[in-house]
Each structure stands twice: as structure tokens, then as C-alpha cells.
Amino acid sequence: MTRFAAPIAEQIWDMKYRLRDAGGQPADLSVEDSWRRVARDLARVEADPAAWEDRFYHALEDFRFLPAGRILAGAGTGRDVTLFNCFVMGTIPDSMAGIFDMLKEAALTMQQGGGIGYDFSTIRPKGSEVKGVAADASGPLSFMDVWDAMCRTIMSAGSRRGAMMATMRCDHPDIEDFIQAKQDSARLRMFNLSVLVTDAFMQAVKDDGPWDLRFGGKVFHTLAARDLWNRIMRATYDYAEPGVIFIDRINRMNNLAYAETIAATNPCGEQPLPPYGACLLGSVNLARLVREPFTPQAQMDMAALDDLTRTAIRMMDNVVDASRFPLPQQAAEAQAKRRLGLGVTGLADALLMLGLRYGAPDAVQATRDWMRAIAHSAYWASVGLAQEKGPFPLFDAAGFLGSGFMARMDGDLRQAVATHGIRNALLTSIAPTGTISLYAGNVSSGIEPVFAYAYTRKVLQKDGSRTEEEVVDYAVQAWRDLHGDAPLPDHFVNAQTLAPMDHVAMQAAAQEWVDSSISKTINCPVDIGFEAFKDVYLAAWDQGCKGCTTYRPNEVTGSVLSVAETAPLPAASDAEVVYLTEPLDRPAALEGQTYKLKFPGSEHAIYITINDIVQSGHRRPFEVFINSKNMEHYAWTVALTRMISAVFRRGGDVSFVVEELKAVFDPRGGAWMGGRYVPSILAAIGGVIERHMVATGFIAGEGMGLKSDPKAMAAEPPRGPACPNCGQYGMRMVEGCMTCPHCGHSECG
């Protein structure tokens, strides 16, 4: 008998969390071995390791408590890895030396696979004076380009993908450029962007008042607050970015408001963090705690929820001591505050099993009740740990109890904190759980609604063939096990059919009892009007959310995976690009264009000739010639000419050549060209080839991929973008991240 509820769950475990030796052979022979490895490692800091190992194992057993993927993959391996998921880096100084010191720290953190967040509001605006060098500042956006190039380089070196979050205050003079930065589809591809919105700004929006953009005590520009708000909303409506973070509310509610000021979050937004703050994540699987599902007696096992939460808090507290960190500042910050982020997954499935419709008032109340129970159990557990092991070093009773969040707690708990202290400064957060939710049997992610009740995925076999496999939502499978092919009840709803305000109500109910924040995507229909769309954000503000992220499918953002209400998804058509078995013969004459590239700092220009072939009325690149008078360039330009031309002549989707070239980072330094940071000569060549492809109609725009490829014919449109990891179609926006339902790959790491 297998512990896995679905084949995809076992495949995720084998691919991501199973320990293997140096030769690639499995060291964990079963998932039970993985649970034992993690439990033993997290129990080793206890006075009685054997007793706690068994309790920790029981919490992990049957996927009831799901530590974040880094803990599952790294704990007990003996490897020099961090068990923390994401970091907010140090405050960026407004100086060239300080900025590049921060870049180095970011590279070291991302090298270990950590996602990072930054507030770029501390860098002076574009055009302001730089004293002593007779120059004007290039502004924070130009340095964000440098970070973006660094992230591409770290990824190209084979490291685990690490996403980045960039924030900027709503009163920074460059905020308008920040809002529209990603409307250039080739720019800042490694970043999520969010605007830090203040209480004063929201009041100015409601009052239709003026708004000053300022830096260093100087007002650079004044505009109507409502006009700036509409620009944020229009960018999000059309491009799904930037997100909105209600930063004053975050700081007001923060238990540590007396010791820190927050100005950034991790990449998915569920962890607002101070400089060098780190997020340690884990989730209680609510779907596994429902007793007698789909019956009149169905109920959440509150006693089991309490016990599991208390055990999970102890396990996660031990991770603080067991983990390594990329930087010493991160270790010091984690030790001083012992911040945790315990959340939930499977909430939507649990509601379905209890007969509750996601977003309905009774489901909203159940969510509030469950999250309140988890918060109280977590805080009581942390008070107990403080009695046993001591409170976190920066604990101050008056400051801690004076926070907005602690004001909600019961009097007996507040008194216990005042008497004994508390082990962990913050304890709850709802993080993206896409991959671990698949691992747990395809339970619904975080507090998101069920996205698809069933879909078909193609599985690559060892002999190269592909088989089809149905992936069924956990609650749907539980219904089938009890009722066979009986139709799903009316309370079964999914992300495609829910009204946006139902999403907001659920997020607000959960946020009431979460001391950090929540990663959640509010899915909006493509035909939602702009005014109704803006109302979603105002509702999130009015109902107490700490941020808001929406996704409206359109021609720019792409469509989401379409699903039938009660039927499995039909398999996506075989839309793979066709690659030729033999290269194309060269015609006697080809149309082409020669471009001159003068890279700053280089003595000689580089000349790039791109010749095209016409097939079925479509023009596509066929060969490249790269020449320079600089003999130091001779060997690599010849090699590049031959390699790129060979790829072009094989046909198929060759736009990846551009992306690979543009990702090359020269450690000696890149250059600003045309107001944009270009990380290397090779990246500049990639930009030339890309612009040629755009000019000839081969791709629709910078970074937008193929526009019309006669070799890539499909019987029907893809059901969502293709996954860069497994190649299957159906990428969808979940918890603020484009996520693959087939393999669990997430653009946020």
C-alpha cells in the first residue's frame, strides 16, 4: 500500500524531496524514510530527541503537517543548505558602492536558491544631482535592471530558481516609471513588483486630494492622488502588475513594531520582513483533518488541529537552530526574533467536504474560526516554549503587547505572554503551497479555491513515450470514493466561477487571525469592468487585508487553464514545435539586414548580419554572421556565428537563443545602452537579434516569444502558457505565481 493519494504526489516526492546519495541513488527508500529523516533532524536539538522524533514523525505522517519544500528536501541531509525559503535583503544605501555591495549579497543569497525582496525607495530618483561627479542619477529602475541581470545569471549557472520582489513607496518621485516598468515585456522578467501604499495615500484617493512625490525632504512633483491610483489600477488591470501592499497597516499590526520597520516583502508577499529578515514556512493540511466528510456529521477535528498546530510550532522553532544561512546578518536576524510562518493548505477542500461553498458567509465564518483556533494554539505553544527554552532575545512585553495584532488576543493569553514571554515574535503566515499541495495528494493550495477538479497531464516515460494521467482534486476524489460517478453537489465551485468579492471576503477572514500576511490571487473575469476591478482593491483595503494581488486573463497576461465544471480536462493538443530532422538547405539568395553594435568601452564596433528565409509566407531567421576588427573577439564571434546559424537552420522555436544571450552576465561589468542596463556584449548581441525578429514579424515584441511559426501548428489554442520546466501547457496564476499543475514548477521558486 502506498501513502500517496495520487501518482503525481509520488512523482513530486521523488523529484523534489527524496534524498539521494552522491551517485544519484535513493537514500530515502520510501516517503516514510523522508518523514523519519526530517523528524530526526528537527528533534536533535531537544533534551529528549527520541521522544520528540516520534511526535514529529506523527505530525508529518499522512501529509498532515507539511513543512516547506526546503525543509523536506534539506533537513537531515548533512548538506550546507538553508531551510528558509525567502529573504528580504538589507536596506539599499543611496551610493554606488553601497548599491553594489547589496548586489553581491543578493547574488550570494540567490546562489543558495533563496528568493529575495528589496525596497528600492531608498535610491534617489532619476535626474537628481549626484554631488561631486557632475552627473545626474540614473534612478532606481536602472539598478533594478542590474539585479534582474544578476538573477538571470545565477539561474543560467544551474542554481534553483529564486524569484525577486521589488517594492517602491507610493510617494517616490519615480513611482510612475515603476508602475509601468513591466509593460516592456523584456524588462525586469525576474521581478514581481508591488507598490507600498500608505494610509495617507488611500485617504487622499478617497478625498480626491493632491499627492506629493518626494525624496530626501524635497518635493519633486505633485499630482492628484486619484490619478496615481488609477495608473496603478490600469497597469494591474492590463498587465497583472504591480501588486499593492498596505504598508502602514503591516507596520501597525506588527508584533515587532517597537523593534523594526518593514518596507518590503518576500517574493509572494506573505512575509513582510525587515532588513535581512527570513521566512520559515510550513502548512497544516486542513483537508486531512475533516472527520466523516460529505455526511451530515462532517466536522473539522478541532482537537487534532490544536495538537498538530502545537507540534508544528515546536518543529519550526527547531528549524531556526538547525538551518544554515547564506549571510551572517540573516542568521543573526532569525535568531534574534525566531520568526515563523505557519499556515494552512487544503482549506477549500475542507470546506467542500463540510458542504460549504467557498466565499459564502458560512464558509467565511468557518475560515475565520479555523484561523483563530490555529493562531491561539500557535501562540500558546510559543508561550510554553518560552517557559521551557526562553523567549526570543528581542522580546519586550510592553512593546509586544501594544501591537495591533496582540490587541485581538484573549486576556488570558496576553497575561501569559506578559508573565512568561513568547518564543517566537511572529507565528502565522499563509504561503504558496503549490508543489507541497501536489505532494500531499493534490489538495487545494493555501486558502485558494479549487482551481480545476480534474485535468489530464502527459507523463514522459523512460522509453521516451508519453502516457496520459488524470489528476483529480483531493476533495473530488474523496467524493468519488464515496459516491462513484454521482454529480458533484452545487456547493462545488472553482476559481473560474467565483465572484472576485468572494475571494476578498475569504482573504480578509483569514487575515484577521494571521500575524504576517497571505499569498493569494484574486481571479477576475476577463470581462470585468475597470471600475468594478478597482472596487476589488478598495474592498481589500476596507476589509483589513494587508495587500492585494489580482489576475485578469487577457491578451497580455495570457489565458488561464480552462476547465469543465464536472468533467476532466481534455488533454492539450500536441502543440510541440516541430524540429527538422535535417537542416534546411541554403537558397542561393536570402533577404537580410546588417546592424552596427558599439558596446561602451569597446574600441571597435561589432557588425551583425541576420539573413532570413521565407516559408509559407512567413519570414524567419536562417543564419547570422558576427564580425569585428577586434581580434580578441575573433574566436568567440566565429563560434557564435556557427552555433546560432546551426540552430536557426533546424527550424522550430528559436527565440530561446535570444533569451540565452540576453541572460549572459559579464562579471567585469555591463553598460547602459539607450537608458537600459545591458549586462554583457553577448546580451547586447541578443538584443540586436531580438529587435530584428520583432521587425520581421517573427516575434510579436521584445520578450514575447513566437508570433507566427509555420512549423508550430496546433489543432486548438493552448490551455494556458507552456511550463518552462516540463513543457506542458496550462500554467496558471496561483497565490501570486505562475504555477504548473503538471509538475509543480513555480515562477516564484
CB 624 within 8 A of CB 648: yes
How far is CA 639 from each of CA 183, 505, 626, 650, rounded to the nearest angstrom?
A: 34, 58, 10, 17
List, by residue number, the catalytic residues. 266, 268, 270
How far is CA 570 from each of CA 454, 468, 471, 472, 744, rounded to the nearest angstrom?
A: 9, 10, 12, 13, 19
CB 392 within 8 A of CB 695: no
Query: Hey, what amino acid is at 310?
Result: R
- For 439, the grid coordinates are 505532494
- Pairing relationship of beta strands 65-67 and 281-285 according to DSSP bridges: antiparallel
CB 40 within 8 A of CB 62: no
* Short-list 522, 590, 528, 587, CA closest to 554: 528
Q: How far apart are the first and last CA of the chain?
A: 32
CB 374 within 8 A of CB 347: no
Nearest-angstrom CA–CA distance, 658 and 643: 13
Query: Hey, what amino acid is at 60?
Result: L
Burial 669-692 (b: 16+ CB within 10 A, else e): ebbeeeeebbbbbbbbbbbbbbbb
Nearest-angstrom CA–CA distance, 565 and 497: 9
Assign residue 75 a region: left if phi > 0, alpha if psi is -120 to 50, beta otherwise?
beta
Nearest-angstrom CA–CA distance, 230 and 24: 53
CB 136 within 8 A of CB 107: no
CB 447 within 8 A of CB 374: no
Instruction: Dump strand ranges (E) for 473-528.
Output: 522-523
Nearest-angstrom CA–CA distance, 221 and 177: 13
- Residue 498 phi/psi, 5-degree rounding, is -75, 145
Helix and strand tally (H, E) in the chain?
23, 29
Nearest-angstrom CA–CA distance, 14 and 89: 32
Residues found in the chain = 749
Query: Hey, what amino acid is at 691?
Result: R
